[in-house]
Chain A
């Protein structure tokens, strides 16, 4: 789920409306004349499920739509494969408008491009695990041997090897949803629509499935639209999150933006209990290492540099600036006594390290295990910064302050 240089729009949702009722056009006109959703419902019985929603999802992105029940998120996701036909607006998938497609084109899109995983799994009870997972391929009339081969592959990928001859009702909820995932993966779609796929699972299983899903997605790189009512799930899986309320998107942004800068009171209420350390990346609190040493240098240089800056430790890098380890003042003294001439003999990858985009939350347990600061390294293990314990404390205090401020605002409201 890394960012790419040039992002391409995969799904584009433009001014989408969905009205349920006998005469949707009439309801639309009433809205245009300035009536509110509630008034329309009261006077005509029409439910406006999706109200003028627009957003783009980029290729390879994990886009989360979050909202409580009745917010229109399920209707919205069903518009993306036209299980529900939008009343007005456009849904472009790779530039082709789903809303106006004929039956054949629509079927082809569903067979090869857009796939769905359901909240209650929606497995076929009369089919074995294998036949369930193979359904998409079977519908495409892929020949039997090839179908079987591909399906077994996918079942192994989701951890269901050996269960292919069982029936859904013999499986636990978590395993049933693995079949649901396998059924979607089998046809190798470009877009995955996930309709609250983990909501029906126990909390423990849910977390496990989320982690596995993240792993799977880093392997198979798909565009994902993920529906959830669970903010933690949204923050965990989403690169961008759209928060829906009453059929409209009230805020769209990265998890960090949503938590640190809620657009309105509704979102504020939502994110109030979310610790900022869950979303703020390490990058924001790291600083330049004060002393950096190279592995070919000796302990005397190390001692000198550390004394000069009056610190207790220094990171050691190799010629390519890749992190080799950490050396403390005392270790440097000891090395001099022992007559060591090169630091590479002393340090052996003993530094704690973390990536710059990890949430602060994940540094805390690391920092707790050692007195030394945590090194921040990029994908090639090059040292780019450090998180001293002081900075960590400050970061957490800032959060505290923020929470207090939010509390204050809320108190004043009441």
Chain B
């Protein structure tokens, strides 16, 4: 009773109210100061050592598991790179232009051809193909994992609740932090580079698949149910086709993020254009760095323009 009346009086007079809260703050400061002498500092949580122990334990006990992943990824990556380098540069150029023309437009195809030829003129063709192989492998893994996880998230709020914070961590944790354990798990070379890229590039595939499915109008889902669809029929005949633009946007994002990991992955000897950048940095060779940077930007533009149009598949109907 007394306290509420006191609070009421405080509310009625602003000047006194300010003075009151100022006093409270001062008291807290004074108390903190006094207590600091008595028992200062935080309680220390030895999380770092725990993580080290955990990682060590994983490396020892799951060696076969990580080695298996490494082998598979290495096989895909090596063969892809071999194939890309085996192709004569002009047929590669023609193939990519054809792809750009069919998926996007003639304009994008011309830009693509010009940009690729320019990269060749800079003498960075082989390195670019190595980078492309790296990205392609990482994107393949990201999409193969991301879309199913996204579907699971869309279907269950509980799964979504678990996956969401994990994705947040994957996207915000500085890449250097997981480059080191990636090295420890997969050894030096391109495989840990791919794995680190997957960690960084996976989230948009999951998020946008999830979003796309959740955005399918409830009425359409209701209609599908009303006609006796099974869960799989609902997914493949209604939800996935309608979520396609969103899923494609997710894949586009995944590709772009993979490309931006290229330089970092080179720090653990993943090779490609990233290595040029790192070397240029080491030698303070501005020109060399600029060339490699230009090639990366051009590749980004090509991949973006070509894959952006994936989601907007044009529909042909008889009367339009």
Contacts and interface: CB of A to CB of B under 8 A. Distances in A.
Interface in B203-234: 217, 219-220, 222-230, 233
B317 interface: yes
Contacts of A255: none
A83 B227 CA distance: 10
Given A125-B242, A138-B237, A167 B315 contact: yes
B182 to A, nearest CB: 40
A122 B217 CA distance: 9
A70 B224 CA distance: 24
B2 to A, nearest CB: 32
Interface stretch (A109-117, A219-227, A265-273, A323-331): A109-117
Interface string A183-208: 10001000000000000000000000
A394 to B, nearest CB: 49
B284 to A, nearest CB: 55
A83 B226 contact: yes
Contacts of A135: 224, 227, 237
A170 B320 contact: yes
A80 to B, nearest CB: 11
B191 to A, nearest CB: 39
Given A118-B219, A122-B219, A126-B241, A139 B228 contact: yes
Contact of A111 (B217, B222, B228, B320): B228
B317 A140 contact: no
Contacts of B225: 83, 110
Interface residues of A, number: 29
Nearest to B230: A107
A110 B320 contact: no
Interface in A98-122: 107-112, 115-116, 118, 120, 122
B47 to A, nearest CB: 38
A115 B227 contact: yes
Contacts of A125: 242
Contacts of A170: 317, 319-320
Interface string B241-272: 11000000000000000000000000000000
Contacts of A136: 227-228
A353 interface: no
Contacts of B107: none
A140 B228 contact: yes
Contact of A126 (B222, B242, B318, B319): B242
Contacts of B226: 81, 83, 110, 115-116
Nearest to A106: B228
Interface string A260-286: 000000000000000000000000000
Nearest to B320: A170
A166 interface: yes
A111 B223 contact: no
Contacts of B241: 126
A170 B319 CA distance: 9
A128 interface: yes
B80 interface: no
B140 interface: no
A124 B223 CA distance: 9
A315 B317 CA distance: 60
Contacts of B315: 167
A412 interface: no
Nearest to B219: A122
A111 B227 CA distance: 5
A118 B227 contact: no
B173 to A, nearest CB: 36
Contacts of B199: none
Q: Which of B223, B225, B229 has the most CB of A within 10 A?
A: B223
B298 interface: no
Nearest to A114: B226
B238 interface: yes
Contacts of B242: 124-126
A280 to B, nearest CB: 37
Contacts of A2: none
B317 A128 contact: yes
A16 B109 CA distance: 63
Given A120-B219, A126-B242, A166 B319 contact: yes
Contact of A122 (B222, B228, B318, B319): B222
Contact of A124 (B228, B230, B233, B238): B238
A165 interface: yes
Contact of B227 (A120, A128, A187): A187
B223 A118 contact: yes
Nearest to B225: A83
B229 to A, nearest CB: 5
A79 to B, nearest CB: 13
B242 to A, nearest CB: 6
Contacts of A116: 223, 226-227
Contacts of B228: 107-112, 136, 139-140
A108 B225 CA distance: 11
B34 to A, nearest CB: 48
A116 B230 CA distance: 17
A166 B317 contact: yes
Contacts of A183: 227
Nearest to B233: A139
Interface string B9-44: 000000000000000000000000000000000000
B312 to A, nearest CB: 13
Contacts of A124: 220, 223, 238, 242
A247 B222 CA distance: 22
A18 to B, nearest CB: 16
A206 B123 CA distance: 70
A118 B221 CA distance: 12
Interface string B285-320: 000000000000000000000000000000101111
B83 to A, nearest CB: 35
Interface of B: 217, 219-220, 222-230, 233, 237-238, 241-242, 315, 317-320
22 contacts: A83-B225, A83-B226, A108-B228, A110-B227, A111-B228, A112-B228, A115-B226, A118-B219, A122-B219, A122-B222, A123-B223, A124-B223, A126-B241, A126-B242, A135-B227, A136-B228, A139-B228, A139-B233, A165-B318, A167-B315, A167-B317, A170-B317
Given A83-B225, A139-B227, 4 more contacts: A81-B226, A83-B222, A140-B228, A165-B319
The 8 closest A-B pairs by CB, nearest first: A111-B228, A110-B228, A122-B223, A116-B226, A136-B227, A165-B318, A122-B219, A107-B228
